Amino acid sequence: MIGQDSTCKMTAPSLLDRLNRDGFVVVPSILTEDQLTKLRDATQQATALARAGKWPNVRTLPKQFPPWPTGTPEAPPQGIWGVQSMMHPDMPNSDIFVQTYFSDAVIEPTKQLLQCSDNDLVMELFNLLVRPDQDFELRWHRDDIPATATPEQELDRLNKPAYSAQWNLALYDDNSLIVVPGSHTRARTDMERNADPYEKEIPNQLLVELKAGDIVFYNNNILHRGAYVANKERMTLHGSAGHVKGSSLRARNVLQHGLNGWVDRVDLGALGERERARAKNMRRMLVEMGQEAGEVGYSLEG
CATH code of the domain containing 32: 2.60.120.620
196 within domain boundaries: yes
Residue 128 · residue 227 · CB < 8 Å: no
7 within domain boundaries: no
298 within domain boundaries: no
4 within domain boundaries: no
The pLDDT of residue 295 is 53
Residue 179 · residue 222 · CB < 8 Å: yes
Domain range spanning residue 260? 13-66+75-293
The pLDDT of residue 234 is 98
User: Global pTM?
Assistant: 0.89
8 within domain boundaries: no
When pLDDT is cut at 50, 70 and 90, the band that residue 183 belongs to is very high
**Which ranges constitute the DSSP H helices of 150-246?**
151-158, 190-194
Q: Mean pLDDT across the chain, nearest whole number?
A: 88
pLDDT for residue 76 is more than 70: no
5 within domain boundaries: no
pLDDT tens digits, residue range 1-60?
Answer: 344 444 444 444 589 999 999 999 999 999 999 999 999 999 999 999 999 989 989 998
**Mean of the pLDDT values across residues 195-213?**
98
The pLDDT of residue 68 is 73
286 within domain boundaries: yes
Cα-Cα-Cα-Cα dihedral of 260, 264, 268, 273, to 10°? 120
pLDDT for residue 132 is more than 60: yes
- Write out the H or E segment, with its range, that includes residue 167: strand 164-170
Q: What is the number of structural domains in the chain?
A: 1
pLDDT for residue 240 is more than 90: yes
**Mean of the pLDDT values across residues 152-166?**
93
Residue 293 · residue 119 · CB < 8 Å: no
C-alpha to C-alpha distance for 43 and 158, rounded to whole angstroms: 34
When pLDDT is cut at 50, 70 and 90, the band that residue 264 belongs to is confident
Q: Which are the contacts of 57, defined by CB distance < 8 A and separation ≥ 6?
A: 83, 84, 85, 88, 258
- Point out which residues pair with 130 in neighbouring strands: 235
pLDDT for residue 153 is more than 70: yes
6 within domain boundaries: no
Query: Whole-angstrom distance between the N-terminal and C-terminal Cα of the chain?
Result: 26
The pLDDT of residue 174 is 98
The pLDDT of residue 5 is 42
The pLDDT of residue 21 is 95
The pLDDT of residue 297 is 41
